């Protein structure tokens, strides 16, 4: 992420200056996205440092969810950027200013090269980390935005109408908005204690019940602490006389191997006898 941040800072300076000199909103729109990229990377780096802190005091899971919060902030920032670009683009349709097609084309090539380099560097990281994935999606959307800048510059250079510039800006805004969806949905799922993506909770319950000596399971909860950190808690009812410790170890191994859940909290309960004592508060023969 440090390498990606260095590349994005260089692109930001070049596109802000170039966008002003060429009069291209598409270039400035891409610069706005690069700015959000740089901010996203800084936020992600801070979150990664906080997530590595040990658990202390009341924060028994440490600060691992700072990465989730950072991803959510990045997603919301992308929405804001896309809205601002769209507003500016609509304002240009009635009176599109002239732009320097050659300059826009050159900036598009420069931006595309930088964004592709940053994206390739980020893609080599741990993709299950939603924090890194958020930064990667920013960078990938930027690379596609640079393609839009290239199209706008080439079209104007060939004598086309400058109205293509706000059109491309709107396409970039739409692209940014689409790329924000996962960065908002997944952190919200984590904060709402949803099960890890792709995990079938019913299948987990069936797998638990299929183990030797297990009779039933209840109060089953599966959630995500942070990206790649799934957790489960449940009450497991085993047969009378069964070795609970042995059953517990078997369940822990099965959950780790089949579902990738290493953090388990399982309460082992012995099934009750068939005849239960029934107590009623009913009028009896003795009224004294």
In the chain, the number of structural domains is 2
Q: Do 164 and 31 belong to one domain?
A: yes
Q: What is the CATH number of the domain that holds 250?
A: 3.30.70.1350
Q: Do 16 and 52 belong to one domain?
A: yes
Q: Do 265 and 179 belong to one domain?
A: no
Query: What is the mean pLDDT for each group of 10 consecutive residues in the chain (288 residues)?
Result: 85 85 77 76 80 78 80 83 82 70 78 82 68 72 74 75 78 80 84 87 93 91 84 93 92 93 92 58 52
Q: Do 158 and 114 belong to one domain?
A: yes
pLDDT at 24: 76
pLDDT at 97: 66
- Is 276 a member of any domain? no
Q: Do 264 and 167 belong to one domain?
A: no
- Is 285 a member of any domain? no
Chain center to CA of 156 = 37
pLDDT at 201: 92
pLDDT at 153: 74
Residue 252 sits in which domain range? 201-270
Q: Do 79 and 148 belong to one domain?
A: yes
C-alpha closest to that of 130 among 64, 63, 76: 64
pLDDT at 277: 47
Q: Do 169 and 210 belong to one domain?
A: no
pLDDT at 268: 93
Q: What is the CATH number of the domain that holds 115?
A: 1.20.1510.10
144 CB neighbour count, 10 Å cutoff: 18
Rounded CA gap, 203 and 195, in Å? 12
- Is 61 a member of any domain? yes
Its pTM surpasses 0.75: no
Rounded CA gap, 166 and 93, in Å? 7
- Is 281 a member of any domain? no
Q: Which of 168, 191, 214 is the last residue of a domain?
A: 191
Rounded CA gap, 113 and 117, in Å? 6
- Is 283 a member of any domain? no
pLDDT in tens, 87-105: 878 877 776 666 667 777 7
Q: Do 241 and 134 belong to one domain?
A: no
Rounded CA gap, 124 and 163, in Å? 38
């Amino acid at each position: 992420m440090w390498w990606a941040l260095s590349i994005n800072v260089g692109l930001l300076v070049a596109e802000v200056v170039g966008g002003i000199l060429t009069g291209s909103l598409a270039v400035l729109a891409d610069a706005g996205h690069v700015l959000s990229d740089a901010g996203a990377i800084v936020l992600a780096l801070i979150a990664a440092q906080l997530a590595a802190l040990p658990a202390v005091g009341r924060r028994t899971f440490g600060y691992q969810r700072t990465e989730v919060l950072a991803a959510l902030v990045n997603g919301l920032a992308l929405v804001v950027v896309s809205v601002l670009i769209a507003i500016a683009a609509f304002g240009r349709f009635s009176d599109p200013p002239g732009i320097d097609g050659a300059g826009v084309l050159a900036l598009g090539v420069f931006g595309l090269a930088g964004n592709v380099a940053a994206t390739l560097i980020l893609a080599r990281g741990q993709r299950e980390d939603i924090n890194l994935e958020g930064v990667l999606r920013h960078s990938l959307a930027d690379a596609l935005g640079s393609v839009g800048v290239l199209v706008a510059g080439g079209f104007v250079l060939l004598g086309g109408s400058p109205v293509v510039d706000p059109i491309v800006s709107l396409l970039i805004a739409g692209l940014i908005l689409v790329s924000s969806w996962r960065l908002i949905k997944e952190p919200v799922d984590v904060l709402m204690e949803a099960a890890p993506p792709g995990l079938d909770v019913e299948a987990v319950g069936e797998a638990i019940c299929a183990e030797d000596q297990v009779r039933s399971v209840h109060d089953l909860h599966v959630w995500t602490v942070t990206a790649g950190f799934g957790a489960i808690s449940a009450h497991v009812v085993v047969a009378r006389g069964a070795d609970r410790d042995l059953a517990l170890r078997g369940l822990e191994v099965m959950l780790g191997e089949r579902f990738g859940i290493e953090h388990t909290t399982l309460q082992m309960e012995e099934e009750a006898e068939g005849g239960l004592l029934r107590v009623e508060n009913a009028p009896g023969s003795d009224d004294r």
